[in-house]
A = this chain, B = another copy of it.
Amino acid sequence: MTPALKLTLLLGAAALLACQPGGSENAKIEPSAPEQVETVQINPNVKILTDGALAGTQGYDIIESLTTEIGPRLAGTPEEARAREWGVAKMKDIGLSNVRIEPFTINGWERGVETGMIISPYPQKIYLTALGGSVATPSGGVEADVVYFPTFEDLKNAPEGGLDGKIAYISGRMEKAPDGAGYGPANQKRRSGATEAAKRGAVAVLIRSVGTDSHRFPHTGQMRYADDVKKIPIAALSAPDADQMDRMFAKDQDVRVKIELGPRAVGDRPSGNVVGEIVGSEKPDEIILIGGHLDSWDLGTGAVDDGAGIGISLGAAKVIIDSGLQPKRTIRVVMFGAEEVGLLGGFAYVEAHKGKDLANHILASESDFGAGKVYELRSGLKGGDAFIGELHSQIAALGIEKSTAQTNGGPDIGPMFDEGVPAIRLQQDGTDYFDLHHTPDDTMDKIDKDDVAQNVAAWTAMVWTASETDYDFRGMN
């Protein structure tokens, strides 16, 4: 791309109507009607930033550093604490200001032994992992007959009491989709499978992993117990092991398994959000918040979830600082802690900032959907079409469409979004994200340099446009 790139955007299918010839160097973008061709101007500073991002490896290098130097960083563990120290050092190294840890306390949980074995009809080992928050089996494990539920709905429709002394197995596949639309439906068994099975008398639960791969990796992830129901252990099987269960039940076999799970609640543990800023030159009190989450599950090294989000958001800040450009508004980068175990960093952030500067947050967004290319822009603004149009014109050249889908800005942004913080999201292609999500296989080799650079470029454009716009996000000006 040339420095003074002029973009011809085709808006709608029946284009080539009402062509407006190229504007002047600083032409303002006209609100576009559908089915019009419009020539828009990339802001020269956006051009500098996106060029810098596309030519560099700012984001990739940060992901590599985090996964190599820290690796797994389960919420509340010493590894997450080391990651916070890493985050502070990295932010300072990049040149952010006001770098600090905002600590909070969580209920810690740690994984223990986990083994699984089909006892009959066909004895063989099964690969499984405890879901986050699960209680343990009795020491030595639990052995029981298995009752098969093709889907979580089938379990919910089962009568009470029918599972006394049994292990419930919930199958069901997750569908692939660029925006991960299959995750919510598939995830119900992970969140509520233990509760629904316990209501019916089960002693433990196995689920087919919530994932889209077919590798021998079980996918962990947080589960929840209802307050008034007995807590029973729950684990996920890898897809090939779930296939094995399905094959046995398809042959109408009686299946008996033995599993041992040793996870435990470990009481109060420290977590924290790592915060740093590029202080705005003209409106320093108006805050644009970007970030990812610093914690990961314990099985992998948290490259796509969410080393990528840390690298993309902090990488964008680095590109801005390295460019020498000074944003008018303050860019605040947050590495959220303890996201995986309940968005605890996002809630803690609101608790720490509510009644203080939270009302000054004019826009917030989190990158937490892997390292695939951004393909569309989603809005969580009330109104804000003018800003969305302004921003879209700056990122369309990166292959990003405008979407009508709404967003709350990402998992850790949700709590502040609910408090009125305007949100936006650069939706990534997550078609393969759930192949790796919450598995040991979430490692650095899965990160593509060019994809990360495209993300960083889009984030610089988003941040810069938001920092310079005349659009009044919250009626503050």
Given contacts A68-B247, A444-B240, contact A301 B124 (CB under 8 A): yes
- Candidates B125, B248, B445, B446; contact of A72 at CB < 8 Å: B125
**Contacting residues, chain B, for A439 (C-beta < 8 A):** 216
Is A300 an interface residue when CB atoms closer than 8 A count as contact?
A: yes
Given contacts A124-B301, A216-B300, A217-B216, contact A443 B70 (CB under 8 A): no
- Candidates B127, B239, B248, B441; contact of A215 at CB < 8 Å: B441
B71:A122 contact, CB within 8 angstroms: yes
The CA-CA distance from A446 to B444 in the complex, in Å, is 24
**Contacting residues, chain B, for A301 (C-beta < 8 A):** 124, 240, 244
- Candidates B72, B124, B216; contact of A441 at CB < 8 Å: B216
Given contacts A216-B217, A217-B216, contact A71 B243 (CB under 8 A): no
Given contacts A124-B301, A127-B440, contact A445 B68 (CB under 8 A): no
**Contacting residues, chain B, for A79 (C-beta < 8 A):** 123-124
**Contacting residues, chain B, for A70 (C-beta < 8 A):** 122, 124
Which residue of B has the minimal Cβ distance to A213?
B215
A443:B240 contact, CB within 8 angstroms: yes
**Contacting residues, chain B, for A121 (C-beta < 8 A):** 69
The CA-CA distance from A52 to B242 in the complex, in Å, is 31
Which residue of B has the minimal Cβ distance to A239?
B445
Given contacts A216-B300, A217-B216, contact A248 B68 (CB under 8 A): yes
* A100-120 interface with B by 8 A CB criterion: none
Is A143 an interface residue when CB atoms closer than 8 A count as contact?
A: no
**Contacting residues, chain B, for A243 (C-beta < 8 A):** 443-445
The CA-CA distance from A300 to B216 in the complex, in Å, is 9
A244:B300 contact, CB within 8 angstroms: no
**Contacting residues, chain B, for A123 (C-beta < 8 A):** 71, 79
Among all A-B residue pairs, the 5 with the closest Cβ atoms: A71-B124, A240-B443, A216-B440, A216-B441, A214-B445
The CA-CA distance from A217 to B445 in the complex, in Å, is 13
The CA-CA distance from A441 to B439 in the complex, in Å, is 14
The CA-CA distance from A215 to B441 in the complex, in Å, is 6
Is A64 an interface residue when CB atoms closer than 8 A count as contact?
A: yes
A68:B215 contact, CB within 8 angstroms: no
The CA-CA distance from A445 to B301 in the complex, in Å, is 26
The CA-CA distance from A127 to B240 in the complex, in Å, is 20
User: What does the 1/0 interface line of A206-227 toward B look like (CB < 8 Å)?
Assistant: 0000000011110000000000
Could you tell me how many residues of chain A have their Cβ less than 8 Å away from some Cβ of chain B?
Answer: 32
The CA-CA distance from A320 to B446 in the complex, in Å, is 46
- Candidates B72, B122, B239; contact of A124 at CB < 8 Å: B72
Which residue of B has the minimal Cβ distance to A68?
B247
Most chain B beta-carbon contacts within 10 A, residue among A71, A72, A248 = A71
User: What does the 1/0 interface line of A108-149 toward B look like (CB < 8 Å)?
Assistant: 000000000000011111010000000000000000000000
User: What does the 1/0 interface line of A420-456 toward B look like (CB < 8 Å)?
Assistant: 0000000000000000000111011110000000000
* A25-71 interface with B by 8 A CB criterion: 64, 68-71
The CA-CA distance from A214 to B79 in the complex, in Å, is 25
14 A-B Cβ contacts within 8 A? A64-B247, A68-B122, A68-B244, A68-B247, A71-B125, A72-B125, A124-B301, A214-B445, A214-B446, A216-B440, A240-B301, A240-B443, A244-B444, A247-B444
Which residue of B has the minimal Cβ distance to A122?
B69
Query: How close is A57's CB to chain B, nearest CB, in angstroms?
Result: 14
The CA-CA distance from A240 to B127 in the complex, in Å, is 20
User: What does the 1/0 interface line of A301-323 toward B look like (CB < 8 Å)?
Assistant: 10000000000000000000000
Contacts A68-B248, A79-B124 aside, 6 further interface pairs with beta carbons under 8 A come to A68-B122, A70-B122, A79-B123, A216-B300, A240-B445, A244-B444
The CA-CA distance from A390 to B355 in the complex, in Å, is 87
Most chain B beta-carbon contacts within 10 A, residue among A216, A248, A440, A444 = A216
**Contacting residues, chain B, for A64 (C-beta < 8 A):** 247
B125:A216 contact, CB within 8 angstroms: no
Most chain B beta-carbon contacts within 10 A, residue among A68, A79, A214, A244 = A68
